[in-house]
């Protein structure tokens, strides 16, 4: 019994020592962190007239120019794009201001938004709406796909969004779509 008690005392001492040394190290860092909201708003793109198509067919892509370095420096001149540690999508809202009762989001069974950039060309899905209800809809709040860190994509001067999905019924007119995407960006220096 004495051997087990002694072992527990040594283990407890080691744990307390580890916690204290970890706590002491926290005071030695000179990291400055900042959390900012980035909104890519009033993005406009046209969805062409579409026949019924296969699942997840690419429909249209639209570019968005952003000077990420200037945006980041607007919070503190010490920050630059290398300070971007994390970018998470908060929301993605699509609207059809000129939609009609025949041509609206009801035409789609699914809608997806993908992202690529000048520094990272691989397309990643960031938001998806599966099983859109078969009723007239002129606005979609497209849920984020999952909490993925998009920092690599935002260390660029241009972002390219991709709209793709599955068409339920053929459209009869070109649809002008507006997109507003909001992100939470974490900066660290």
What band does 53 get if pLDDT is binned at 50, 70 and 90?
low
Instruction: Give the least confident one: 9-23, 29-43, 61-75.
Output: 9-23
Contacts of 101 (CB under 8 A, 6+ apart): 136
Using the Cα atoms of residue 91, residue 51, residue 61 and residue 44 in order, give the sign of their dihedral. Answer: negative
Q: Taking a C-beta distance cutoff of 8 angstroms, is the pair 153, 18 a contact?
A: no
Class (C level, CATH) for 32-188: mainly beta
Contacts of 83 (CB under 8 A, 6+ apart): 72, 187, 188, 189
The residues spanned by each domain of the chain are 1-30, 32-188
The three-state secondary structure class of 74 is coil
Residue with the bigger pLDDT between 63 and 99: it is 99
Instruction: Give the least confident one: 36-50, 57-71, 117-131, 134-148.
Output: 57-71
- Token pair in block for residue 186: 């974490």
Helix or strand run (H / E) with residue 6: helix 2-26
Residue 34: what pLDDT?
82
Task: Quote the percentage of the chain above a pLDDT of 70.
Answer: 79
Instruction: Give the least confident one: 63-67, 108-112, 158-162.
Output: 63-67
What band does 101 get if pLDDT is binned at 50, 70 and 90?
very high
User: Can you give the pTM of this predicted structure?
Assistant: 0.75
Instruction: Give the least confident one: 15-19, 44-48, 111-115, 176-180.
Output: 15-19
Residue with the bigger pLDDT between 54 and 158: it is 158
Task: Quote the percentage of the chain above a pLDDT of 90.
Answer: 31
């Amino acid at each position: 019994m004495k051997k087990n008690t002694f072992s527990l005392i040594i283990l407890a001492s080691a744990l307390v020592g580890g916690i204290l040394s970890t706590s002491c190290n926290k005071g030695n860092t000179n990291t400055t962190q900042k959390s900012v909201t980035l909104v890519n708003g009033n993005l406009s793109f046209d969805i062409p007239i579409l026949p019924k198509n296969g699942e997840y067919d690419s429909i249209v892509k639209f570019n968005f120019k952003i000077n990420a370095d200037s945006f980041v420096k607007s919070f503190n001149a010490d920050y630059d794009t290398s300070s971007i540690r994390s970018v998470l999508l908060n929301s993605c809202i699509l609207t059809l201001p000129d939609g009609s009762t025949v041509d609206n989001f009801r035409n789609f069974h699914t809608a997806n938004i993908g992202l690529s950039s000048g520094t990272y060309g691989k397309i990643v899905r960031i938001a998806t709406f599966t099983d859109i209800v078969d009723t007239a809809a002129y606005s979609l709040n497209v849920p984020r796909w999952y909490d993925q860190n998009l920092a690599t994509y935002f260390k660029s001067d241009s972002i390219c969004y991709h709209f793709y999905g599955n068409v339920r019924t053929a459209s009869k007119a070109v649809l002008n779509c507006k997109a507003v995407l909001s992100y939470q960006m974490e900066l660290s220096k």
